[in-house]
Amino acid sequence: MSNTQTATVDRYLETIYCIAAEGETVRPGRLAYWLSVSPPTVSQALQRLERDGWIEISEDRSVELTAQGSTAAASLIRRHRVLERWLTDMLGFDWAAADVEADRLSSAISDEVIDRIDASMGSPVTCPHGNAIPGRIAPYGDLIALADLPPGMPAKVCRISEVAEHEARSLLEKLADHAIEEGSELIMDSPQRNENEIAVTIAGEPLSLSMEAARLIWVEPMSHAA
C-alpha cells in the first residue's frame, strides 16, 4: 500500500471512529460532508476499505469499523490526543492551535516518541477538549449538551464534541479567545435571547453562543459533579 493510500485509509478510519463516538450512525453522505469530498469519492473509498477488512457496510449503507479497523483508528486517535495534550500542557498552545498542530505532527512522530511523551505527562486521561484518550476512562459523570442546560444551573465544561474539532474550528477559536477550557465553570443565563442563541456567564463574563455551537459543548451540572 502506498503512502498516499495509507494516509487516505487513516483519514477515513479516524473520521468513522469520531463520528461513531458522537453516537451518530456513520453513512456515506456524512463522511462526504466531514471530509469535504464528493459522494462518488466516498463510495469508492469505502469499497476499498471493506475489501481490505477495515470496515463493514450494512444493507442500509451504514458503516462500522471491523475489529482491525477499530484497533487502527484507536491508535491514530491516541496519537492525536496525546500530542494535543502535550502541546497545550507542556508548550502552552491554546486548544484550537493545538488541534491544528497535532494534525501536522501526528504522521511525522514515531510510536516510541508518542509513548514517551505520554509517559512524561503521567498518561493523561483526556485530550484538552475532554475527549478520552482511547483505552482510558473519562473522569466525568453523565454529561448534557450546553444547549439543554436549564437556566440558572451552574455547570462545568467537560468535553467539546469531535464534530467541533473537524467542522467548527471557529468555535474552538472563540472558546480559546475567552480562555474557556476543560473544567471551566459557567451558568446558563435566563431568559434566552432567542431560540437560535443562548447566553451564558463564564468566569464572570457574558458570552453568546449559537444553539448549534451549544450542542457541541458537553457540560456536567455542578449539582451532579464529583
For position 210, which CATH number holds? 2.30.30.90
Burial of 173-201, coded b for 16+ CB within 10 Å and e otherwise, reads: eebbeeebbbebebebbeeeeeeeebbbe
Report if residue 89 sits inside a domain. Answer: yes
Distance, in Å, from the CA atom of 148 to the CA atom of 224, rounded to the nearest integer, reads: 15
The domain in which residue 18 lies consists of 3-65
pLDDT for 94-126, tens place per residue? 877 888 899 899 989 999 999 999 999 999 999
- 156 shares a domain with 217: yes
171 shares its domain with 205: yes
Cis, bond preceding 134 (omega within 30 deg of 0): no
Spell out the residues 6+ positions from residue 124 whose beta carbon is closer than 8 angstroms to its own: 82, 85, 89, 118, 133
Percent of the chain whose predicted confidence (pLDDT) is above 90: 53
Task: Please indicate, yes or no, if residue 71 is contained in any of the structural domains.
Answer: no
Give residue-wise pLDDT tens across range 189-219: 875 556 788 888 887 888 888 888 888 899 9
Q: What is the CATH number of the domain that holds 121?
A: 1.10.10.10
* Counted domains in the chain: 3
pLDDT, tens digit, 9 for 90 and up, residues 34-72: 888 999 999 999 999 999 999 999 999 999 999 999 999
Select from 86, 104, 139 the last residue of a domain: 139
